[in-house]
A and B are shown apart, each in its own frame.
Chain A
Amino acid sequence: MITVVDYKMINLGSILNMLKKVGAKDVVVATTAEDLQNAKKIILPGVGSFDAAMKNIQGQGLMEILRVKAMEEKVPFLGVCLGMQLMTKSSEEGILPGLGYVPAVVKKFRFSESNLRVPHMGWNKTSIEKPTKLFLNNDPKRFYFVHSYFVECEQTSDILTSTEHGHKFVSGFEHENLIGVQFHPEKSHSYGLELFRNYVEKY
């Protein structure tokens, strides 16, 4: 069973469709704490702003159940894009604290060079930084990104993938049961399918 958390910021269509395509059984869309009660594996998607997302998660009464699942039951927990950023302690984008599961913070891209654009939007190369079950091999992958803020991990051992935009940044972390990816696997064709398939089958 895979539980996709819906906190009312995006259409989950392409994520749900990709999960179906990789053969995920029993995909549940959760909007309440009750929906999450029996979750065995979680995906926290997200697009939008940090505080708006945290407010919705609080407003839907999901804070405690998500914490129990991520930190006590230690179920596999995958944050995507803003979902990844929410798993950290805080973000320069907002004033509300994050979920705080992973020792990391979120910073804004700042460039003085004019040819580098913010947000970082488009296809970019993603290098694998440590062994993981999420990918079949260590070859660099191509993923689609849309973001203005990036995660900075306190422990380098948490860094799963890295990508360059002006400087190298953490495009993925894996910390025990907690995984976050900055890119959009649901918009990244076969690389996204590979990631979701492995998350479904190997975690």
Chain B
Amino acid sequence: MLEKRIIPALLLSEAKLVKTTKLKNPQYVGDPINTVRIFNNKEADELFLIDINASRSKKGPNFELLKEIATEAFMPLGYAGGISDMNQMEKVFSLGYEKVGMSSILFSRPELLTEASRNFGAQSVVAIIDIDKGMLGGKKAVNHLNHSEKFSPLELALKYQELGAGEILLHSVYREGTYTGYDLELIKEISSKISIPLVALGGGGSRDDLASALSSGADAAAAGSIFVYHGPHKAVLVNYPKRSEIEDILRKGK
């Protein structure tokens, strides 16, 4: 039986580790390599790195940095940010990453999922769905680069699955960095309708939140803030639950 996972999601910007709130206001958190070493010592299940500037700046992935990170990491790795063709993906995989994610590019070129899954296997291809809350409280999948192109999250998840995604990363941007808990309703709705794994990200503010995401149907709970900050004043402290604590979360998350 494969185990459910607890994944630190680390945001990169200009080769630095940052943490945002609702993907805005990046705060410097630390050096990525050092942080990866700490997660090694803490034996994190998996790391997912998202370069929040790679698409916006049109620079694409920072392969040098990605290589350094992969060399340091004794755990599985995923990467997203600025991926727009097969060559870039191939390069990321050859550096030692297990998964590559895409988000905004999928609005204009959803066929990349099909191509990627044919070339590298569906298991390696993560479709990221960024969720925002509309004026009337409804949740919409948005292109975070321009906040347009609003879709039903469920419809988009089904479409991405159909196109070849091996995993959906459901990123509730409107909860990101807010410690208000995961979007459990949406996790339930989508995970019950898709057959590929769903990773929940955005809002995880406690270990109980992680467990709730899992019990709502997520295969993995990803979080940023709680793994890089500590205490009410958000002092930077890279942390990860001990194995016995993870097992506790998994038990509660059944």
Contact = CB atoms under 8 A, between A and B. Distances in A.
Co-assembled chains A and B? yes
Interface of A: 9-11, 13-14, 16-18, 21, 114, 117, 119-125, 144, 146, 148, 164-165, 184, 186-190, 192-193
Given A120-B2, A122-B2, A122-B3, A14 B74 contact: yes
Given A13-B67, A124-B3, A184-B76, 10 more contacts: A14-B72, A117-B197, A119-B121, A120-B2, A123-B3, A125-B1, A187-B73, A187-B98, A188-B74, A188-B75
B45 to A, nearest CB: 6
A119 B5 contact: no
B87 interface: no
Most buried by A among B2, B71, B98: B2
Contacts, number: 70
B70 A14 contact: yes
B73 to A, nearest CB: 6
A17 B76 contact: no
Nearest to A191: B43
Nearest to A13: B71
B71 A122 contact: no
Q: Is the interface of A mostly helix, strand, loop or mixed?
A: mixed
Nearest to A124: B2
A147 to B, nearest CB: 10
Contacts of A114: 195
B98 A146 contact: yes
Interface of B: 1-3, 5, 40, 43, 45, 67, 70-76, 94-96, 98, 121, 123, 195, 197
Contacts of B73: 14, 187
A21 B1 CA distance: 30
A149 to B, nearest CB: 12
Given A114-B195, A186-B74, A148 B43 contact: no
B185 to A, nearest CB: 23
Nearest to B219: A122
A122 B197 CA distance: 11
- Which 10 residue pairs across A and B have the least CB separation, nearest first? A13-B71, A122-B2, A11-B96, A189-B43, A121-B123, A11-B95, A123-B3, A119-B123, A187-B76, A17-B71
